[in-house]
Amino acid sequence: MTLSQPPMSPPELSQNLPKLITQSQPPVTEEDMRQAVRTLLLGLGENPDREGLKDTPKRVVKALKFLTSGYHQSLDSLLNGAVFQENTDEMVLVRDIDLFSSCEHHILPILGRAHIAYIPDGKVIGLSKIARICEMYGRRLQVQERLTAQIADALQGLLQPQGVAVVVEATHMCMVMRGVQKPGSWTVTSAVRGTFAEDEKTRQEFMSLIRHSPKFHS
């Protein structure tokens, strides 16, 4: 496991709540996208007009739009005011957050979980919003290293806490279903900011907590 570089100002974060810049109009229409899927089916040697494939272009486009819907979300609308003043400086940890994304190299699934902690400095965030931040960045074409850093930078920018730590553990279908075909392989990435980067004791406390198996899971 490697630790990321010291904190940088994330490009999407403004002074208050950051806004994600997206295209107001896609460069192609949905019909263009369906035709592209139809062309792919033809290239694979299939007949896109047969009964089982007639609606496949429409279904594929709908699925891809959902899986990449994070491009059209912003942190300010996602949070909906769920940042609160709170006089606490103890670690807050949400672990085992299910995470689903898509590899930008092959558009195949990335399946895993995220463990996220921060040490407040006067502000806390609604716990469910931490999971929603993971979803927003996960629902884009990604590499795991960037996804991990984006989650950490978002929390650092929103809360200005004493520190943030993120660990993502995931399996990549581009390694399992094709290529080297290695099922059971997991990739672990981490991003640490502030106290977690500077203080080994704090970092080790976080690492020990995410290794603990919760008793309420079967």
Closest of 43, 47, 52, 126 to residue 82, by C-alpha: 126
CA atoms within 13 A on the CB side of 183: 1
Q: Which of 12, 46, 104, 205 is flagged as catalytic?
A: 104
Q: Which of 35, 46, 174, 205 is flagged as catalytic?
A: 174
Q: Which of 73, 134, 142, 144 is flagged as catalytic?
A: 144
- Find out whether 94 and 130 touch, Cβ atoms under 8 Å: yes
CA atoms within 13 A on the CB side of 129: 18
106 noted as active-site residue: yes
Q: Which of 103, 134, 142, 156 is flagged as catalytic?
A: 103
217 noted as active-site residue: no
172 noted as active-site residue: yes
- Find out whether 93 and 116 touch, Cβ atoms under 8 Å: yes
105 noted as active-site residue: yes
What sign has the CA pseudo-torsion 95, 96, 99, 104? Answer: positive
Q: Which of 35, 72, 106, 135 is flagged as catalytic?
A: 106
| 3-class DSSP state of 196 | helix
Q: Annotate 150-183 with three-state secondary structure.
A: HHHHHHHHHHCCCEEEEEEEEEEHHHHCCCCCCC
Residue 10, judged by CB atoms within 10 A of its CB (0-12, 13-18, 19+), counts as middle
- Find out whether 117 and 92 touch, Cβ atoms under 8 Å: yes
115 noted as active-site residue: no
Q: Cite the active site residues.
A: 103-106, 144, 172, 174
